Chains A and B, each alone.
Chain A
Amino acid sequence: MLVLTSVVTYYGSVQALKGISLHVNEGEIVALIGANGAGKTTTLKTISGLLAPRRGTITFRGRPVGGWSPEAIVRAGISQVPEGRQVFGPLTVKDNLLLGAYPLGWRDKRARLKENLERVHDLFPVLRERAQQPAATLSGGEQQMLAIGRALMAEPRFLLLDEPSLGLAPRPSRVIFNAIPVFRQRGLTVLLVEQNARAALQIADRAYVLETGRVVMEGLAQELLSQKEVQRAYLGRGYQQVWEE
């Protein structure tokens, strides 16, 4: 469904992605793991259009989307849940969700708005309870659910999840991770970026491990879970330390 071939992205003159190739098949949950600064968020931003690739191709459902504007990419069916949630604090939970439906055409909106809202509420019941509260008053976990719900309101086919568990306590973190496989049942495909490699690998089908802008490992999530090198990559330890254990 989504294919990246040798994608190179720069931040100014710094080469953040050195040729990333990956693919996500329809219905899969694929995880992108790695230490801080490895290029995970950069990869998501390149896919969602916030950054343009300098080189390489990005194909979504057969169409080349590299270099498209973020709005165009959302309309094509890719939605991003950004790192750090970034909900609109002063607005109510309900308004946050409605804003998520902004990219949809007017005709679509009227028809499906109510239905989509209900589906998000079913997924995360707490959002129904807090519908009229300003988003800033929600706990970290609830804000994460709101951010995900907002992304779902755009009726994406493909969800880019950037560090959903960042800053969350174990319990809300688990709630979030348990919800992700549910998306798949609803026809969503997920590319998940996570520093919590273990949690990500437990729900993903396959994963890619990034290190300083390169893919250094790929395979079935099960295979990677048992790898010492994955621990090295996500904890950012150097070779020396791991081998001297």
Chain B
Amino acid sequence: MPIWNPRIETMPRVDLEQLQLERLQVTANRAWEGVPFYRRRFEALGLMPEQIRSLDDLRQLPFTTKDDLRSGYPYDMFAVPLREVVRIHAPWGTTTTPTVAGYTRNDLQHWRELAARVLSAGGLTKDDVIQISFTYGLLTDAFGLHQGAEEIGASVIPVTAGAVEQQISIMQDFRTTALVGTPSYALQIAEALAEKGVPRTSLHLRWGMLGGEPWSQATRARIEAQLGISATDNYRISEIMGPGVSGECEEHKDGLHINEDHFLCEIVDPESGEVLAPGQTGELVITTLTKEALPVLRYRTRDLTSLNPEPCACGRTLARMARVSGRTDDMVIVGGVKISPAQIEAVLSGIEGLEPHCQVLVDRAGAVDRVEVQVEVSSGLLTGDMRHLLKTQNQLREKLEKTLGLAAEVKLVEARTLDRRRPRRILDRRKSNSGHPAQQ
């Protein structure tokens, strides 16, 4: 898996940190000068950009939140005149006001390079035929990875998301070797192949780079087994750039290498905002180092991960982030217990017959919190013995109680009935039902 940019990706950390400092200072200077939002922030703190003298001084700056970006929609956070912006994406969220992503010519060039790095680390070469099944349009995934793949020189098929049957036909006709899309979509393709009785060997797929939603190791193992591919994870965030922020190296799949010459990452405690040490899990905060159109300082991503600055066996010295384990706003406190979907999934993965898809409903009955965990079961289990079904249900209930201290009702549902696209897998209905403020 060739390293796309060896000079940067294997740079000694002391040189990398000097580069980061230079670019951080440039970004702070330009944000102060050209983005009224940041100018106000600096002035409110009595801070001048030259007070950023080291990477640690970044902590003096306040965070930027998604609401800050939303309040600037569409153009208030831009640091350059619109004339210089050559691409605009607007990731439409599932709720509320969208945020905008804008790029100058240089920003686009950097994006291309970074997407190429991540794809190359994941295993893409110019001999591959790559099928991109993200939706082409305002979202950043499709175009971002498309550009990177072209940069590498692979044969790119911009299939877009669509009917699974079409994806499979194209795979067969064009002998696609690489797939890019969401893990759910990959599973849907695998399921469709099984249903139609299409032998895996009739396809030429060998590799997949999946992302856009959290997915567990168990899901990865399933996808790899069912599609016969090696699947790598990558991290993308539209408010920062899109895909290309970080990605796993295929050799080791032990953390996602962050393109640190363009993004300065910190891990903070989601409650206190305090910066945490490497290895500790917390919220990922990103500062852009080279973005011209939309520089962002200390953006709170609400994604939970940890950092590992040790060099990887693949040769890259770029720090790695752990696979995102959940969202800061996707945790709830129920009956004094803090739970996250990641924890529940971990419990699920140990029980046979359950699919790694769950939904958690939190409600309040009278004065008591009530939790229902809905889990999909594999088809084998549903058609089997009723007693076996009940046994699995009890097994899960007991395990949840024992490992998480969570007393929950378990409801087993048919496969593929839960909405995969929903980003929040914990629905807390307590806010609307009772007068008590829900603990989040």
| A214→B29 CA distance, assembly (Å) | 7
Say how far B149's CB is from chain A's closest CB, in angstroms. Answer: 22
A216 touches B18 (CB 8 A): no
Q: Which residues of A contact B30 (CB under 8 A)?
A: 216-217
A214 touches B50 (CB 8 A): yes
Complex: chain A residue closest to B28, CB-CB: A214
A226 touches B105 (CB 8 A): yes
Q: A21-B22, A23-B22 are in contact. Are A216 and B50 (CB under 8 A)?
A: no
| A3→B22 CA distance, assembly (Å) | 10
Inter-chain CB contacts under 8 Å: number: 58
| A211→B49 CA distance, assembly (Å) | 13
- Please encode chain B, from 41 to 58, with 1 for each CB lying within 8 Å of some chain A CB and 0 for all others: 000000001101110000
| A22→B106 CA distance, assembly (Å) | 20
B54 touches A23 (CB 8 A): no
Q: Which residues of B contact A217 (CB under 8 A)?
A: 26, 30
**Is residue A173 within 8 Å, beta carbon to beta carbon, of the partner chain?**
no
**Is residue A19 within 8 Å, beta carbon to beta carbon, of the partner chain?**
yes
Complex: chain B residue closest to A245, CB-CB: B83
How many chain A residues touch B (CB < 8 A): the figure is 27
A216 touches B29 (CB 8 A): yes
Complex: chain A residue closest to B105, CB-CB: A226
Say how far A3's CB is from chain B's closest CB, in angstroms. Answer: 6
Say how far B197's CB is from chain A's closest CB, in angstroms. Answer: 53
Complex: chain B residue closest to A21, CB-CB: B22
| A223→B34 CA distance, assembly (Å) | 20
Q: Which residues of B contact A223 (CB under 8 A)?
A: 106, 109
| A223→B106 CA distance, assembly (Å) | 7
Q: Which residues of B contact A8 (CB under 8 A)?
A: 50
Additional 7 contacts, C-beta under 8 A, given A6-B25, A218-B22, A218-B23 = A21-B21, A21-B22, A56-B53, A215-B22, A215-B29, A216-B26, A219-B106
User: What residues make up the interface of A, taking CB atoms closer than 8 Å to B?
Assistant: 3, 5-6, 8, 18-19, 21-23, 55-56, 208, 211, 213-219, 223, 226-229, 239, 243
24 contacts between A and B (CB under 8 A): A5-B21, A5-B53, A6-B21, A21-B21, A21-B22, A21-B25, A23-B15, A23-B18, A211-B29, A213-B50, A214-B25, A214-B49, A214-B50, A215-B29, A217-B26, A218-B22, A218-B26, A223-B106, A223-B109, A226-B105, A226-B106, A228-B84, A229-B80, A243-B83
